[in-house]
Structure formats: C-alpha cells, structure tokens
Structure 1
Amino acid sequence: MTILSLRARRAAPLRPAVLAALSFIAASAAQSQEAMPPLLLAQNARLPSLRDTVVTATRTEQPLADLVADVSIIDRETIEASGATGLADVLARQPGVQITRNGGIGNATSVYLRGAETRFTAVYIDGVRVDSQSTGGAQWEQIPLAQIERIEVLRGPAAAVYGSDAIGGVVQLFTRKGEGPARPYAGVGLGTQGLRKIEAGVSGAAGTGSAFDYALGIARETSDGFDAKASGAHNPDRDGHRSTSGNARLGLRIDAKHRLDATLLASRMDSGYDDFAYTPAQPVDDRNLSRLRTAGLAWDAKWTEAYSTRVSVTDSTSRYQTTPAPYQTETRLRGYLWQNDYRLGAHRFSAALERREDHLNNPALDAWSMSIVQGRSQDALALGYGYQRGSHTLQLNARHDSDSEFGGKGSGSVAYGYALTPQWRATASVGTAFRAPTLYQRFSQYGVASLRPETGHNAELGLRYAQGRSSFSAVVYRNRLSNLILFGGAGTCASSFGCYANTARAQYQGLTLAASHHWAGVQWHGSIDLQNPRDLDTGKQLARRAKRHATFGADTLVAGWTLGAELQASGRRFDNAANTNVLGGYALVNLYASTRLARDYTLLARIDNLGDKDYQLARTYATPGRTFYVGLKWAPQ
C-alpha cells in the first residue's frame, strides 16, 4: 500500500429550485415568527443562538454574542435525529462542509472545511488533539459518533490560537458531561444492509453539593455493508464494518475555586475495503483495522473573579493497519498546556504556554516499504486580547511556535465585529496559519527532510442576524495557501516513484449563506456554499470539491410526531488535479420522523437517499443507495 491510496474530493450547478428556496429563507429571516414546539426545536439543525456559549474560538468559554468567529454548534438531539453512523455525515449537513469517502463507513474519509483539505482542520476530542502523522489530519473514520455529545465547528484559520494545522478551521468534539441525579440511557437501532446498533450509559453527579460528576458510555455497531467499489477489478463481496467504542468523563470540584477533569475515549473499527491488487484467482477479504484512544487530565483554578488558569496534559494514539495487505501506522500525540485568562471590565487577556510532541511508527512489513520511527516537538507562546463593549467587539491573537525540526513560525489574527442593531451584526477578520510537514512527508521513502510548512493567509467579511428562533448569516472569504506539499515526480527522496515537494499554491474563495426561520407552522433551515477552490498555478479546480453545495430542510410537528425532510445537493466535481475525471453532481432527499412512545422512550425512523440516487464521492467507489433506519432510545426523564 502506498501514499496514493489514501483520500477523497468534489463540484457543478445546483438546480434553480434549490437556489430559489434558499434565497427565500434568507429573505424571510428578518420576518416575525410564531412559537415552535420544544420537541421540534430540539430536532432542528439550526444556527446557534447568541445565548449559547462556545470554547473553540479562543479556547476559553465565551457567549456566542461576544465572538466574531464563524461557528456552528451541533447538539446531541441533532446528532440523534440525523440517524447517521459516521461523524463526517453529520458534519456534511453543516454550512461550509463537504465530505468524501472511499466506500462505506470505516473507509478513508475526508472532510473539507471551506474547501481546505482534511490536514488543514485541527480536531480535538474533549480538548485532546487527534491527528495522523502519516496521512495528515484526523482519521475521521476512527472517531465514534456514538460517544459524541456536542460538536463545535469553527470555520476559518485559528493557528494563532491552536498552532499548526488550523488553516481551514477547527472541529471540537465533546463527550457527555454528568450533572444532577443519575441518568441512565440505552438505545437500539436497526437498518438496511444489516445495520445493528446498541448503546448504553449513565451520567450524573454525587457527593456534597454534587462535587463529583461522571459520565460513562459504551456502544457497539455492526453492518453487512455494500460492495465498496462501483467498477474495476475488485472483490464483489459486501464490505461491512464492526465498531466498538466507550468513553468515561469524570469531574471533581475540590472547592469553589478548583476543579479536576479526566476524560478517556477508546474506539476499535474493523471495516472491509477492496484492495487495488485484487485478482479473481486468489480472492481475499481486505480489512481496515483502526484504533483510537484519547486521554486527558485538566486542572482549572479560579484564583480571583478576574484571573483563572488551566493546566492540562493530553495523550492520543491513532493506529491504522490493513490485512492481508501489509501496512501499519501509529501516531501518538502528547500535549501540555498552561493557559491564563484575566478579565478587566470590557477587556480580556490570555497567555498560554503549550508543548506538543508527535511520534510516528511505521514498521516495514514488506519489501516495498521502509521502517519509520520518528518524533518531533513544538513549543509555543500564544497571546490574546479581547474587547467587548456596546456595539464593538475586538479580538487579537498572536502565537509563535518553535519546531524542533524546522525552527520558528509565527501566526496572528485580527477580528472586529460591530452590532448594527440588537439583531444585526457585521464582522471582518484577517489571519495567518500554517501546517508543519508530517513526519511521513519528511522521513518516508517518499519524504524530503527540508520541506517547509504550508502557510495560509485568510480574509473574510460576515453579516449575521439573530432574533428568537430566526437567524441568518452570510460570510465571504478568501484563503490563499503557499508552499503546498504535493506528491510529484522523482526528486531528492529515496524513491524513484515520486517524492513530496513544496510545489503548489491554492486559493479557497467563496460565499456561505445559512438561515433558519419558523413560518407557517414549519421550521425551515438551509445553507448554500458558492466557492471556487482552485490551484493557483494551473487554474484548475481542486479535486473532489464542488463549486456549489447546499443543504435544505423543513420540520413540523403533527399529532405528537416530529416530521422532517432534508435535501443535500452538490454540483459537479473532478476526481483528479487535471480535471479530466468528472464526478457528477447529485441531489439526495432524506425523510425522518420521531415521537415519544411514552415518557421515557423515543422512536426515530429515517429514510436516506429516498430516490436511490446512484452517485460517487470518489471515482470508482460506491455509495450506499437508499437506506432505512429505525431506533428506540430509553432515557428516564
């Protein structure tokens, strides 16, 4: 197996009806609305309320109203209503996000945030960084959606806060946190292609003043799957998956000023795929074997009303191998953070010292590969300043990272927001970001030790509206990247097949519109992305990314049932850099319904891809077709 067999890409016009519907949503966002039933509101994938708090933008919990960043929040109710089995499928229904997958669940998955490659999105689980120093970026197929309680998606560069990798944005994933009396839950689900799900857990708080809180969860999922390949020589078997995951989150409030938190997550995935080397004379069952483990320990101290600190130690291990084709890679990340926050009236100051240690182990399992055992470290100082008073919001961030291999790299951002009215807000920001070369890109047989970091320069303008249950946002952005690392022809590396090199420039430019509005007893929501992800050197459209991508949905409550419909539409894309292999556009219609069968039981049913649309996210790789799912959850109120 080589580096060329790893990931996926998107692009072409949407139908006029889709554009008209989304234009109507944007125009009606400022109109009055009627009350919406609580159950329906919980099921709706909406833009976040200004009352929500987020931590992703500045690494400190803040009201959304104080932020200038472009952020989406996905809660557990929305995740469950999606009926999805993969994390990427939930993200694909958010503004500015496209995905590709090489076959079914458990296979190589890419998430493009504003058109930026997977390696340009920094991913955290309960504050623990997840990454692969082999493929670059988080291996999305390893992350168990069943254990995720809340998702925050930050679009736009954030290297000035998080350091290397956050060129396109940041995705923060949070597991359940315990509070109140013990709350057990259990759920089962069945679907087409032999899909079977089971999950159980408990969360709550105990002790004097609920000083100790806990949340435990476990889940098992199996599926017979479908044939992962749509054409070409391959094993015509069904490529299913089996996954087991669990998490524990514990908290102890020592006193009014000090708190300890510990988190642990583990996941195993066994999924089928079809190797390129398949021969009918010797059929084999090719398998992906993945393992992800994350652990974190944090101490939060509030020394005064104005000054607080956070000290954390985190560790993650991402392991991937294939069988019987011999390939194995394991990335381990260790992180140390000391963050200080000080508030003085309308002013917020932050200072953080951070250390990151990466380690890659790729054993040589055949005559065509070489053993890689390499490590590196990055030490950083990050400074931040925030100001919020009246109509004005200002956020400044600067960071310097010192890498043990290539030296120092600085990044910074400036963001400003102005409240035109209590409902309307205009924002503007500029920022720089970078991604350090992976250890594989530098030390494999295809690697070049002198590779330089990939760098990005982003500028964006935004306009947002929020009142009650109506919201609207429009964000225009341009992110230019230089020193892009691509795999090309023979060069200075050990392999005559090809080498990595800093040879490219790219630009992610576009407009994202998103809105949610209650009208005529129905909650309408949708987004549309009009973008132009292109190679600045060739002028070609970047592979596997559509220029137009949209989601649209409607929910209503009828006789105690929440009924909903979704439309996901994507334009034409190209599967290669030369733009010669076309991936056709597609439109998918999904239907779902949910109700409370009794006080403690909730039933969910979904039909995805109602029209059984035949489409591809990656050339020659199949997608699941029409699927049906029904789930029952018990959660005492």
Structure 2
Amino acid sequence: MSTSVPGGNAPPRCCALAARLVLAAAVCPAAFAQAGEDPIVITASRLEERLSQTLGDVSLVERSTIERSGASNVADLLARLPGIEIARNGGPGTSTSVYVRGGETRHTAVYVDGVRVDSQSTGGAPWEQIPLERIERIEVLRGPAAAVYGSDAVGGVVQLFTRRGQGALRTRGGLGWGSRGTRQADAGLSGATGSVDYALSAGWSDSNGFSAREGQNPDADGWRRGSLQARAGWQFAPEHRVEASFLESHLHAQYDGSTTDDDLSHHELRTGALAWRGQWNDDALSSARLSESQGSYETEPSPYRTETRLRDLVLQHEQRVAAGQRLSLTLERREDRLENPATARSARLAGERAQNGVAVGWRGEFGAHSLQAHARHDDDSEFGTKSTGSLAWGWRFASTWRFTASAATSFRAPTLYQRFSQYGNPDLVPETGRNLEFGLRRSAGDDELGLVAWRNKVDELIAFGAAGPCTSTSGCYENVGKASYEGLTLSGRTRVGALALRGSLDFHEPKNELTGTLIARRARRLATLGADTELAGWQLGAEVQAAGQRWDDAANTRRLGGYGLVNLSAERRLGEGLKLQARIDNAGGKDYALARSYAVAGRSASVALRWTL
C-alpha cells in the first residue's frame, strides 16, 4: 500500500479541490441540524439551550443523517464532521481512536444517554464498542469543558442519545446488505400511553471483513455485533418525570495479532441510568441521575482481559436569578474500577478510585451580548484536588452575525492502568490544558457560515517512555510531554436552487512542543464537501472527505500519505413508511492508510430497506 504522496507537506489534489469548493460554496452556509431549525442541545453547558444561543462550537447529527451516511460505526460518522479525524488498526471491530481538534482520543469525554463511557485501561471511550444502530442523535462539542464535566473533557465532548418514545405506537425495521458479505437487521418500537413513554430496539449485523494487516495472516478479519436498547419514562406529575435507560452491545471481531493464530477479540458494553427531572416553577429546575457503564475487552488464543466499571451520581439545580440570567449548581460523584491482570497491586488499592466534584455555572443575556462562566472543583482519591474554569462571551451584530470568545482550563486524570499496572507510574499527575478560542458565525435563513480559531496547550502529557519508574523493563508511563493544538475551521452550508451544499475546511497544527514534531497520525489539513438534491423522486447525495499527509510515529520518520475519498448516496420512498437507501463509499477505490501497515476497506457498497409503521 502506498503511504506517501509527492509534494512534501502539500495536501492531496482532492483536499485542495475540496478547499476551493468549500471557500466558494460556504459564502452563506448553515448548521448541522436541518436548515431553518433551531433545536435544543445540552452538551455545551449540561443544560438546555438553543443551538443558535450556545457559545460553544457544537455540531448536531440526527437520525436521518445517520441513516443516509451508511456508516457502520460512530467513529466513521464523526470523521465527516469539522475538526475530527480517526485512526484505526484495521476494520470496524479493531482499536479505534477519535481525535477532536487534534487532541488525544482520551481527551474527549463521551456520554450515552447521560452515562459516562470510558476505559480505565487504554484511556478514552471504546469507540468500536458503541453501536451506531441504536443511536438516535449525536451532539459534539469541540473545545474543553472540564469546568462543566470534570476530568477528560480536554479537547471536547460527545453525547449520544438513544430513541425516546412519543405519540402513538410505531414500529420500525430495516434490512441491509453490503460489500464483503455485510448484513444488518434492525427492529424497534416506540410510543407513549398517557403519562408513560417507551422505546425498545434491537439489532444484529455481521461482515466477512478484510485482512486487517498487510503481509501478516492474510485471512479476512470479520466481525459480528448484537445490540439492545430500552428507554422508558413516566410523567408522574405535570412537571416531574422519571426515566430509565439501558444499552447493551456485544462485538466479536477477528484481528491480525500474529502470523499463524486466528486472533479473536470479544467486546461488551453496558450502560444504564435512572434519572429524575422536576420543574418546581418557571424559575427553578432540578434533576438527578444515577448511572453505570461497564466495558470489557478480551482476546484469544492469546489471553488478555480488561474490564472498566464507572458509576456516576449527578445532582443539578438551575435557578433564574434575574431577567435573562440563570445560575446552576452541580454536585457529582464518580467511582472508577479497573479489573486487569496487569495491575500490580491489590484490586482494593489499585483498581478503584473516586472523584467528588462541585460546579457552578452562570449565564446572562444582555441585549446583543451573552456572558457565560463556569467553575468546578474536583477532589480525586488518588491525586488530590483540581480546579478548572471557563469564561465565554457572545455578541450579536448586524442582525445575522455573531462573534464569540472564550477561555477555559481543563485536565485529564491518569488511568488506573497508567498508574498501577506493571507499566504504571504511581507518581503520574493529571494532564492539564489551557484553551483560547474565537468564533464568527453568520446565520440567515437556510444559510450559515462559521469560522472558529483556537489554541489549546496541554502540559504534563502522558506518554509511554523508557524503563525506569515501573517494574517493566520494556518501558513505563511518564509525564513527559507538552503539546499545543492550534487550528482554524471554516464550515458552512447553503442552497443554490435545488442543490444543498455543505462543507468544512480545517487547518491544524498539533505539535509536540518539546521536540517540534507533529503529533502522530494527525493531519494538518482536513476538508469535507457535500451536495444533496432531489431528482425524479430520488434524494441524491455526494461528498468528498480529504486529509493531508500525517506521520505514523512521534519522530516523524514514517509518512502516511494524504487521501481524498468520494462517497455517493441515494434514497427513494417506495410507499407510505417505506424507503430504499443505497450508498457507495470510496467510490474511486482510493488506496490509503489510517495507520501504517494496517489496511482499510477500500471501495464499499451497501443497500438498505427501512420501514416505519
């Protein structure tokens, strides 16, 4: 496989073309929700606010977009949003990293129905374990939010929501087929009766896959997944509601870990939550959520198993204190547990820890100006206390324009594995970040244009270094790094006649400040461009995804070439509640790499039949 392109640091021709088209088409673009809508989001401040009012850089992806995307996993879908790229060691069932604004995958806090999902082994969400088929809506915040969420939100926050029942009983289903023997089946029902609403869905999918690693064990590495989702709510009083949610996913995937064995990995993910929300009056709103997530990873015939359990209790109260001003108070307790054969100490000491946090937030609207401030203090049973804060300002001018500016601090606590495994260093301290950000957005009807610039500096970056402070002779975790993540994102959407255009262009500079090298597997240029139209009863779409060259290693000696992918989609209604969807990804059959010596799927086609009754 070719992993380089001529021209040094120059982006590939597809990337340059996409850049020019984005600049031309984004004169009057729009948001990621449907054009003209102003939906409610919660990710930026953990409280409800209109998308147009948020002072953060937020994208919203709804179910219709998820279905048309043809993506089989969350990471591939997120890679089509501004400021996000991914790396993967093979197919969809293998280890996957998501980089928001060039940050580490562990620097993004991830929630499913308000349930925190993370790994105390690798650090960061197990992206390959989250079943996209069960997800109804995704909110993405680019930029730090530790003053709201605590540890981990150094580079961003991703919230995923499953379906919530409403209206009369409806049943849904779908069947799909794709390249390499890929098959998928889904079924679900949702609705509401009186004060009770409910939603239940289940699905199964599998694929023959492709050989994950070049020159090593050339058999196809397939995967299969089963998932189940349930959500129910009871409005037991006019302004009070309780809700329970549950998600379970089982993923079995082959991978190339040796030249002779048929290596298998087994993933399990479970999340559950019980929540209450009460509106006391027009000025006061309270909520409480008790949640738990469990994630495990196991391999054979080479034996390895790791399991993470996270428990979280969040109490929130929001109070209007004056006209246009609201104050919020959050109390949170999080308990982490790791079970891993590599932990060197007892499970009671090394496998558990707790964090207690208290956060205060305030937002005020003063005519054309908006102000928002957050402060949080966390007390960790392992490393002590940490305080974070953020301040944001927004100014609306010339009726359709808005300028925003913000500053924030953040931190990420080392995982239990990084501190107490055979490679661990108990003296590790949290990674800390400082972010400065400016944004300019124009919104006029169906058109919107966004420009965001940021600089996020992270100190005490944790990396796997030389042997010394741990029992292993092959290396140990250390606080050795200083990184700066700088960038500029231009995004937009507009409509020209029957043609809807959307696009984004990212200029990134993810750099190791100690060595002056670029951080591995991060591109300095990213671009997307999409167009949708209707023709003879068909909804037709085309998009370009492009990335510049990257380096596969920290020393910047192994180059990964830039690439441009062309994806095509078509959708047609066949009758009441019945539609046909078809898609071709990487239509040009581009040969590229997300990680050196690991293969990608190549050209892929899929077709799906979906119905709602």
Which residue is equivalent to 1:7? none
1:60 aligns with 2:47: yes
Letter in 1 for 2:312: G
Give the SS at the match of 2:27: helix
Deviations along 1:178-230, one digit per CA (max 9) or x if unpaired, are 000011001000001000000000010002xxx10000000100000000012
Q: C-alpha distance in 2, partners of 1:462/1:290?
A: 40
Q: C-alpha distance in 1, partners of 2:332/2:539?
A: 46
Kindly state the Cα deviation for residue 469 of structure 1 after the two structures are TM-superposed. Answer: 1.4
Which residue is equivalent to 2:24? 24
Which residue is equivalent to 1:13? 11
Q: C-alpha distance in 2, partners of 1:94/1:251?
A: 32
TM-score (normalised: structure 2): 0.96
Letter in 2 for 1:407: G
Which of 187, 211, 218 is matched with 1:236 structurally?
218
Deviations along 1:520-540, one digit per CA (max 9) or x if unpaired, are 320000101101001000000
Kindly state the Cα deviation for residue 47 of structure 1 after the two structures are TM-superposed. Answer: 7.5
Query: Are 1:464 and 1:473, in contact at CA under 8 Å, matched by a contact in 2?
Result: yes
Give the SS at the match of 2:237: coil
1:359 aligns with 2:337: yes
Give the SS at the match of 2:515: coil
Mark the runs of 5 or more structure 1 residues left unpaired by the alignment: 1-10, 31-43
Which residue is equivalent to 2:452? 475
Give the SS at the match of 1:21: helix
Q: C-alpha distance in 2, partners of 1:223/1:441?
A: 34
Which residue is equivalent to 2:545? 568
* Aligned CA distance change for structure 1 residues 631 and 372 (closer, same or farther; 3 Å): farther
Q: C-alpha distance in 1, partners of 2:193/2:239?
A: 18
Which residue is equivalent to 2:182? 195
Deviations along 1:347-395, one digit per CA (max 9) or x if unpaired, are 010001100000000035xxxx857731000001100000113211111
Q: C-alpha distance in 2, partners of 1:520/1:395?
A: 39
Letter in 2 for 1:118: T
Which residue is equivalent to 1:382? 359
Query: Are 2:29 and 2:446, in contact at CA under 8 Å, matched by a contact in 1?
Result: no
Which residue is equivalent to 1:37? none
Give the SS at the match of 2:80: coil
May I ask how many residue pairs the two structures share in their alignment? Answer: 599
1:70 aligns with 2:57: yes
Kindly state the Cα deviation for residue 266 of structure 1 after the two structures are TM-superposed. Answer: 0.2
Q: C-alpha distance in 1, partners of 2:484/2:587?
A: 35
Which residue is equivalent to 1:252? 234
Letter in 2 for 1:237: D
Deviations along 1:43-78, one digit per CA (max 9) or x if unpaired, are x96587562110101111111232110000000000
1:147 aligns with 2:134: yes
Q: C-alpha distance in 1, partners of 2:156/2:21?
A: 28
Q: C-alpha distance in 1, partners of 2:601/2:474?
A: 34
Q: C-alpha distance in 2, partners of 1:467/1:287?
A: 52
Which residue is equivalent to 2:243? 261
Which residue is equivalent to 1:223? 207
Which of 273, 276, 279 is matched with 2:255 structurally?
273
Q: C-alpha distance in 2, partners of 1:74/1:317?
A: 25
Give the SS at the match of 2:17: helix
Q: C-alpha distance in 1, partners of 2:126/2:141?
A: 18
Query: Are 1:73 and 1:153, in contact at CA under 8 Å, matched by a contact in 2?
Result: yes
Deviations along 1:84-136, one digit per CA (max 9) or x if unpaired, are 10110110000110011110011000000000111000000000000000000
Which residue is equivalent to 2:5? none
Give the SS at the match of 2:64: helix
Mark the runs of 5 or more structure 2 residues left unpaired by the alignment: 1-8
Kindly state the Cα deviation for residue 412 of structure 1 after the two structures are TM-superposed. Answer: 0.3
Q: C-alpha distance in 2, partners of 1:270/1:576?
A: 29
Give the SS at the match of 2:281: coil
Deviations along 1:313-336, one digit per CA (max 9) or x if unpaired, are 000001001111111100000000
Which residue is equivalent to 1:173? 160
Q: C-alpha distance in 2, partners of 1:433/1:524?
A: 35
Kindly state the Cα deviation for residue 27 of structure 1 after the two structures are TM-superposed. Answer: 2.5
Q: C-alpha distance in 1, partners of 2:138/2:474?
A: 41
Kindly state the Cα deviation for residue 623 of structure 1 after the two structures are TM-superposed. Answer: 0.3
Letter in 2 for 1:456: G
Which of 144, 166, 171 is matched with 1:157 structurally?
144
1:582 aligns with 2:569: no
Which residue is equivalent to 2:3? none
Deviations along 1:529-570, one digit per CA (max 9) or x if unpaired, are 101001000000000010001110101000110011010000
Which of 197, 201, 206 is matched with 1:213 structurally?
197
Q: How does 1:590-629 map to 2 (within 5 A)?
A: 590-629=567-606
TM-score (normalised: structure 1): 0.92
1:123 aligns with 2:100: no
Give the SS at the match of 2:18: helix
Letter in 1 for 2:498: G
Which residue is equivalent to 1:5? none
Q: C-alpha distance in 2, partners of 1:17/1:105?
A: 29
Letter in 2 for 1:151: I
Kindly state the Cα deviation for residue 258 of structure 1 after the two structures are TM-superposed. Answer: 1.1
Which of 71, 90, 104 is matched with 1:84 structurally?
71
Q: C-alpha distance in 2, partners of 1:105/1:24?
A: 34
Q: C-alpha distance in 1, partners of 2:337/2:118?
A: 11
Which residue is equivalent to 1:548? 525
Query: Are 1:48 and 1:73, in contact at CA under 8 Å, matched by a contact in 2?
Result: no
* Aligned CA distance change for structure 1 residues 516 and 428 (closer, same or farther; 3 Å): same
> Stretches of 4+ moved more than 3 A in 1?
44-50, 369-372
Query: Are 1:363 and 1:372, in contact at CA under 8 Å, matched by a contact in 2?
Result: no
Which residue is equivalent to 1:136? 123
Q: How does 1:302-313 map to 2 (within 5 A)?
A: 302-313=279-290
Percent identity among equivalent residues?
51
* Aligned CA distance change for structure 1 residues 578 and 625 (closer, same or farther; 3 Å): same
Query: Are 1:202 and 1:215, in contact at CA under 8 Å, matched by a contact in 2?
Result: yes
Kindly state the Cα deviation for residue 150 of structure 1 after the two structures are TM-superposed. Answer: 0.2
Give the SS at the match of 1:414: strand
Q: C-alpha distance in 1, partners of 2:582/2:32?
A: 17
Query: Are 1:46 and 1:516, in contact at CA under 8 Å, matched by a contact in 2?
Result: no
- Greater shift, 406-415 or 304-313, is seen at 304-313
Kindly state the Cα deviation for residue 611 of structure 1 after the two structures are TM-superposed. Answer: 0.8
Q: C-alpha distance in 2, partners of 1:324/1:370?
A: 23
Query: Are 1:363 and 1:371, in contact at CA under 8 Å, matched by a contact in 2?
Result: no
Give the SS at the match of 2:144: coil
Which residue is equivalent to 2:436? 459
Give the SS at the match of 1:619: coil
Q: C-alpha distance in 2, partners of 1:176/1:456?
A: 34
Q: C-alpha distance in 1, partners of 2:512/2:122?
A: 21
1:399 aligns with 2:376: yes
Query: Are 1:228 and 1:239, in contact at CA under 8 Å, matched by a contact in 2?
Result: yes
Letter in 2 for 1:353: L
Letter in 2 for 1:620: S
